[in-house]
Every structure is written in C-alpha cells, then in structure tokens.
Amino acid sequence: MQKFSMSWYAASAHEAAPRPALSESCHVDVCIIGAGITGCSAALHLAQRGYRVLVLEAGTIGCGASGRSGGQMIAGYNLGQDRIARLVGGDDARHLWGLCEESLALTRSLVAEHAIDCDFVNGHVMVGEKSRHASALHALCREWEDGGRKGLELWDRAQTQAHVASPRYTCALYDPGGGHLHPLNYTLGLASAAERAGAIFCEQTPMVSWQAGDPAVVRTPHGLVHARFVLFCGNAYLWGSESALARTIMPVGTYIAATEPLGEARARALVPGNEAVADCRFVLNYFRCSRDHRLLYGGRVSYSRLDPPSVSEAMRKSMVDCFPQLADVRIDYAWGGLVAITMNRMPHFGRLSPNALFAHGFSGHGIALTGLAGKLMAEVIDGQAGRFDVFTRIPHHAFPGGRWMRTPLLVLAMMWRRLCDVL
C-alpha cells in the first residue's frame, strides 16, 4: 500500500496528547492488541467493571480502519437472514439479528453517555440502479420489517432522485435507524472514556509476539506484558503477525476522497436529508456530507492490495460519474488503507486459547458491530460467554489458494463480481 496524504478525518480530528510507548514490563488483567473501535470498546467496558486494562497500539489510536472508514452505520449483515439461518440455524440467526440491532443502539448510547463529539447524524439510504436492485431492496425491506425495524421507506425513481441528486439511482430503501459519524473522533472519544474509567493506552507499541498460557505473555520492543487475558483487536493488521488468523481473513485496500468545501446549499442539494448513502453494487460506492459541507466519497476497492496510480483522480472520476454537477469541484483529501474481509463476509469471533479472544472481519459493517464486539469480549472475561459464542458458531473457512495463490484467486473472483455489477 502506498502512503497517502492526511485524511480529512485526521485533519479535522480533535486534539489528543500522544500516549507514551510501553517502556517496561508489567502485569495486567487484560492486554488488548489494537486501539480501534473494537479494542477501545473492550477497554471501556472492562475498565468500567474494575479490570486492569492495557491497550497496545502499533501506531496511534484509530490509525487503522476504525479511524478512516466511510463512517456509515448500517443495519444488518452482508448476508440476508435466510443465508445466515442456513449457516447457523434459525435460533442463532435470530440471535444474530438481535445483536446487530443492539449494536446500533449501543453506538448511540456510547456517543450520548460519554458526550463523544463525532458529528453523529441519523439516517441511512441504500440506492439502486436496476430493476434487480429494486427487487433486492423490496426483499430487504420485508426482512428488516419482519425483524422489527421501524420507519423504513421504499422510494421510487422520483423520490430517490429528490433525496439523492444523482441521475444514476432509480430506487432506494431509507432506514432512519442507520446513520453516520466521524469515525476517528468516535474512536478517540471511546479511548478517552476508557482512560477515564482507568484503562491505559500505549501508542507506538507493536506486539512482536505472544505466548499462550496463564498468564499469557505479550512481547513488545521494550517490555513484556503478563496478562490473564489477551484480546486480539487488530483486524486486517493481524494478517501478517498472527498466523492462526491469517488463513481466514483477507486484507483489501479501500479508498475515500473528500472534496473542497461546497458550501451548505450546494452540499445539501446533493443529499437534502443529510443521510449516509450506499449503493447496491457488490463493489459498492458510498458517500455522505461532512459537517464542513464536503462530500466524502468512497467506492474503489483493491483486492490485490495494489493502489491506483492516483487515488485522488480515481476517486474523482467515480464521484463525477455519480454526480456530474461536481465536475468543477476540487479534491482536497484522498486516502486509503486495509480492511479485513472473510470468505462469507460475516464477522469472525473466536478463541486462540482459553484466555485469548479475537474478533475481526466485519467486512464493511464495522462502525456499530465493532463496538458490540468489544462489549461481548468484556462479557466473556466477566464470565458471560453466551452472546459472544453466538458469533463463534458462524462457520468460517480459509481462503483458497494458500499463501501465494489466494490473492490472485480473489482478484479473479472480484473481476467477475465487477462484471456482474455492470450487467
């Protein structure tokens, strides 16, 4: 992956004093690897229960996917309930639906309870271009209503284009229960709340290796951490360092651009209701407006992890295809990085040993589900593993092709998916 200019999120993040790197060995109840939303949520929920918590972050808090994503809070999973039921059975499928609904409520409650200033806005819209997209959105609406979602609206062409000013889209599903936020400020807010509860964060402190046991031992460049429990919350960035997880996750590159400030009137004309928007493509486009009236537009994915020659130009072309009225608009920021996907696009939770847990592979649904993952990990450590174990029963398989061929095979599969998007 190439190095990018600063993201708009980083440029607009609240100031935070750097946390010092770990400089000596220590003993704690829980050592958390990774200070994204999952790790920060786990730290918060554990510290509130009185555990001694240390969070190790190889970079800075929120420097991974948690702090640079599209910031869209989306209901449901990447699979429909029927497919989930075929994987885990009807009872667990219903439990998983309920847990996903809880994750949305949890995000709102964390923002409110800890007064996290992260530009939270209610409302999410899924848009489509073709008749098969309209059929899929109708089916999704029925599924979500059966699950208890309220306030859903299906929009025809006229309604869709009144709410999303793009000639491309002809149908939509509006969900008032979704939303969007500034993901880096949200992550920083969770970390600050965890620190107030007693957790300690060490930045610039990568995990070099770890050894299972009771206690487990985590080795860092300048000290050992002896911990009763270890939580692996590094998502795509554990791909290279934790071989037991590497087979079941695939790091892929994702990209976002932020326009120059458009002014309130021009920005609101694009999405008058200020909702987050994502389309129905397998390789989807997604966008929303920022508090300073920029359009934040994401949509390109690199399954080979080779970046386009110019992320800014690639994203600008995609944006103008969607919004021709922005042909004169400058791109001020363009950035990207890795996210983790799984073979079935469902989150992967589990144990590497009796006292070492992991949760990763949120596959584009991470804003809310990561916060829930951290809470469920805390429940396991507190002696209540039932809800976490609902996720562990989702079957996951290694990507085919082994170490050398799985990326080329995935690229070929995604070429077919892109062709299907066009047809």
Which class would CATH give 1-120+181-249+342-402?
alpha beta
Angle between helices 81-88 and 90-113 (to 10 degrees): 120
pLDDT at 324: 98
Find all residues with CB under 8 Å of 54, minimum gap 6, and list them.
22, 26, 28, 30, 31, 32, 199, 200, 201, 202, 225, 227
Q: Which fold has domain 122-179+252-340?
A: D-Amino Acid Oxidase; Chain A, domain 2 (3.30.9)
DSSP per-residue codes, 8-51: HHHHTPPP-PPPPPP-S-EEEEEEEE--SHHHHHHHHHHHHTT-
Query: What would the DSSP string read from start to end of 204-265?
Result: S----EEE-SSSEEEEETTEEEEEEEEEE--GGGGTTT-HHHHTT-EEEEEEEEEESP--HH
154 token code pair: 């299906």
- Condensed to tens digits (0 to 9), the pLDDT of residues 374-420 reads 999 999 999 999 999 999 999 998 876 655 555 554 555 455 455 45
Q: For the residues 334-354, what does the mean pLDDT come to?
A: 91
Task: Determine the Cα–Cα distance for residues 54 and 62; give it in Å rounded to an integer.
Answer: 16
What's the pLDDT at 338?
83
Tens digits of residue pLDDT in 15-26: 989 999 999 999
d(CA 123, CA 100): 16
Q: Residue 343 pLDDT more than 90?
A: no
**Where are the domains positioned within the chain?**
1-120+181-249+342-402, 122-179+252-340
Bridge partners (DSSP) listed for residue 225? 26, 218
- Tens digits of residue pLDDT in 17-54: 999 999 999 999 999 999 999 999 999 999 999 999 99
User: Structure pTM?
Assistant: 0.93
pLDDT at site 416? 43
Considering only residues 92 and 243, tell me which one the structure prediction assigns the higher pLDDT. 92
Confidence of residue 263 (pLDDT cuts 50, 70, 90): very high
Range of lowest pLDDT (111-120, 297-306, 307-316): 297-306
Residue 406: its pLDDT value, please?
53
Amino acid (1-letter code) at residue 273? G
Between 368 and 303, whose confidence is greater? 368
C-beta of residue 415 within 8 angstroms of C-beta of residue 304: no
Where does the pLDDT of residue 1 fall: very low under 50, low under 70, confident under 90, or very high at 90 and above?
very low
Rounded Cα distance, 55 and 210, in Å: 14
pLDDT given for residue 300 in this prediction: 74
How much is the pLDDT for 5? 54
Mean pLDDT of the chain: 91
When pLDDT is averaged across residues 60-66 and rounded to a whole number, the result is 94
Instruction: Provide DSSP, 69-103.
Output: S--EE--S-SS-HHHHHHHH-HHHHHHHHHHHHHH
209 touches 219 (CB < 8 A):
yes
- Sequence-ordered list of residues with C-beta below 8 angstroms from that of 15, at least 6 positions apart, any chain: none
**Phi and psi dihedrals of 101, rounded to 5?**
-60, -40
Bridge partners, residue 349, by sequence: 359
